[in-house]
Structure 1
Amino acid sequence: MAHSARSAQAAGPCVAMEWCTIESDPAVFTELTERLGLETQMEIGEVFSMEDVESQADCAGFILLFRYDKGTMRPSSSSSVGVADDPSVFFCKQTVENACGTIALLHVLLNAEGVRPGPKLTNFLEFASSMPEAELRGEILGMSDDIRKAHNSFARSEPFMSEEKGSSEGGEAFHFVAYVPKNGALYELDGLQRGPIRLEAVPESAPTASGAAAATSAAAAAGAEPAASWLPAARRAVEERMARYSGTGEIRFTLLSVKGSRLHAAKRRLGQASARLAVAQQVLSSGGGSTARANAMGAFPQALLGAGWAPEPTLGALETQVAELEVAARAAKAEVDELQAERAAWAAENERRKHNWVPFAIALLEECHRAGKLDSMVEKGNERARELVRQEMERESAKKAKAASPSSAAPSASS
């Protein structure tokens, strides 16, 4: 989206059994996904425009963050069925404060095709799914130590204890909901609703998280039209939700996509290119021949080399193949290095989010005081604050004057 609501979801302090607020950032949600435990390698990305929604070919589902407003919390008006009675759709109500981000993430991960939960999430899913009521499933989630600890791993450490409740009381609140396709329908999964909201029918052949990218590439290579997708329906649902704030000036939305890990996919491509290169080089150095080919290919699993792949039969073609594989391996290695650097940057960002900066701020103020600079810094800050207030008052006065102007109330004679 063009404007993010991240600042409204900055991580805050929490105590033992409470759930902290978390930031709507890909780095945060990707680490949260890893901490929850999945057998399928997943990551979270941010979608910056509605036009980009339909290009998320490997997306398993979306998570939307928006400002909470009771007037906008009704189910999507595009719903033709309403609350769905489909036991295969996992849904739990939000029964604990600040848990909506993790609930939305779990609603995608535990419903998306091709996403395999790890042992801990599998145990939670089996136990929670045995409960007939969504509220009971929400209570089970709220009491899950594993899920709460993963969620609260982003809590900021605090040197002071406050008797005030660390919630959004008196301030703005933001909320997460999920959109995920399942069983030929697009669902809106909102922990504040009674159940899953079936929005509209979508193609049964919707791509899964694990196979969408490969399927799309194969279709393009064959010159075929890509399979019909659920993504246009998701775009309509998100746009309808955002349109409820039309006329309010609200622009703080964040849309996250839950998709297969780019790093994991790049490592697989690197492994395959490296294995193929090793086979082709060994055959070439041996002068070709069926025995050399069999020995070289036997050193690697066929699944790694790829079904149907084999070194070229002639030495000339084999030399060309080796050169092409060297280029492919270098490109895959560069992609892996780039994505690993991105993950390292994400890890550093998350550590800074969790860090307690109060001692640093106190030490900095003490040094400024000892250097005789603190008073002038405070005065400069106050001057800047007064200037900002003055500018805001001028803008408000200009708006009121324009609204009261006769020319703004009626069209001109030439119009």
Structure 2
Amino acid sequence: MRGSFENKMSRFFDDPWCHSLLQQAEMATVSKEMVYWKPLECNPETMNKLIRDIGVKGVHCEDLFGFDDELLNFIPRPHLALILCFADRGNANCNTFDIIDPYYSQLKKEGYTNPSDVFYMKQKIGNACGTFALLHSLANLRDSVDFGSGAFSNWLGKALPLSVEDRSHSLETDEQMAAAHDSCARAGETEIVNVVSNHFITFVNIKGTLYEFYSSKGFARPIGPTSEATFLKDVEKVVQELSKGLETVTFSAVVLVGDEHE
């Protein structure tokens, strides 16, 4: 009987679902003092308000309803970045970490570090995944958008010299940025919840390379070459891999589009 029980427990702890719970419990223990923000919705209205409120010009968000060519044709150009929001766990017995982690582990093993010209910050604010996704997009579009002279420009100037680890704290303690986030989160269409089970991943074309920003990691992941003309189709390949692994096609996404007239 004892051997049977031990075998069952061994299978339980080997289960990916259990690994996910243990990982979350470990993170909760380490981050007892973590500050939590209200979650930001993944929709153009909310994100466009935040873009305006922090003083950024020359860019706005558009809904992405799918990667079929006829749907992509509705999205104005230029396509600068894409923010993807999806459930942590699909129908498969795995979660997002199971699919993404091997890529980051391999790069880390190879000694890869975040390039100095790619702005990245490791998230240390709870429920702020959507805001981190948007800020990662904007901060890496310095050649395409107008940062203005408002809250975003002021914060970014202070954050740039800091380490990947310290940039999150600089955001947390920036009163103007925190207030702008809170205002936009409260203006969302859905009821605010305390526990968020969705993930946000950002994709940005930086000087012809497609980068993935997953704010729980230590760096932005280079995926491969891209261009403005192929950007959304290049992102589609990554999304297809996620959807296949999670056995789900449910996601929401917004595309950051340049305002060429500004």
Q: TM-score, normalised by structure 1?
A: 0.46
Please, what is the CA RMSD of the aligned residues? 2.7
Q: Which residue number corresponds to residue 128 of structure 2?
A: 99
Counterpart mapping for 1:42-121 below 5 A: 42-52=59-69, 55=73, 56=75, 57-69=77-89, 71-73=95-97, 74-75=99-100, 84-112=113-141, 113-119=143-149, 120-121=151-152
Q: Is the contact between residue 94 and residue 191 of structure 1 (CA under 8 Å) also seen in structure 2? A: yes
Q: Is the contact between residue 75 and residue 197 of structure 1 (CA under 8 Å) also seen in structure 2? A: no
Q: Which residue number corresponds to residue 182 of structure 1?
A: 206
Q: Which residue number corresponds to residue 33 of structure 1?
A: 51
| Inter-CA distance 241–77: structure 2 relative to 1 (3 Å threshold) | farther
2:52 partner SS: helix
Residue 195 (1) aligns with residue 225 (2): no
- 1:125-182 per-position Cα deviation (integer Å, ceiling 9, x unaligned): 22212113x121111112111111111103449xxxxxxxx621xxx61121100011
How far apart in 2 are the matches of 1:156 and 1:230? 32
Q: Which residue number corresponds to residue 246 of structure 2?
A: 245
- 1:47-95 per-position Cα deviation (integer Å, ceiling 9, x unaligned): 1112257645311100000112483125377788565531100001110
Higher relative contact order (CA 8 A, sep 6+): 2
- 1:327-366 per-position Cα deviation (integer Å, ceiling 9, x unaligned): xxxxxxxxxxxxxxxxxxxxxxxxxxxxxxxxxxxxxxxx
How far apart in 2 are the matches of 1:184 and 1:76? 24
Residue 19 (1) aligns with residue 37 (2): yes
Letter in 1 for 2:84: L
| Inter-CA distance 18–97: structure 2 relative to 1 (3 Å threshold) | closer
Determine which of 156, 169, 175 is the counterpart of 1:125. 156
Letter in 1 for 2:100: P
1:45 partner SS: strand
| Inter-CA distance 231–84: structure 2 relative to 1 (3 Å threshold) | farther
1:22 partner SS: coil
Judging by fraction of residues, say which structure has more strand. Answer: 2
1:188 partner SS: strand
Q: Is the contact between residue 79 and residue 258 of structure 2 (CA under 8 Å) also seen in structure 1? A: yes
Q: Report the identity percentage.
A: 25
- 1:205-238 per-position Cα deviation (integer Å, ceiling 9, x unaligned): x34xxxxxxxxxxxxxxxxxxxx53332212122
Q: Is the contact between residue 94 and residue 103 of structure 1 (CA under 8 Å) also seen in structure 2? A: yes
Q: Is the contact between residue 142 and residue 148 of structure 1 (CA under 8 Å) also seen in structure 2? A: yes
How far apart in 1 are the matches of 2:49 and 2:116? 29
- 1:226-256 per-position Cα deviation (integer Å, ceiling 9, x unaligned): xx5333221212222222211xxx4431011
Q: Is the contact between residue 41 and residue 185 of structure 2 (CA under 8 Å) also seen in structure 1? A: no
Structure 2: unaligned runs, 5 residues or longer? 1-34, 188-192
How far apart in 1 are the matches of 2:204 and 2:183? 26
How far apart in 2 are the matches of 1:78 and 1:94? 19
| Inter-CA distance 230–20: structure 2 relative to 1 (3 Å threshold) | same
Q: TM-score, normalised by structure 2?
A: 0.70
* Corresponding residue pairs, total: 209
Q: Which residue number corresponds to residue 16 of structure 2?
A: none
2:246 partner SS: coil
Q: Which has the larger Rg?
A: 1
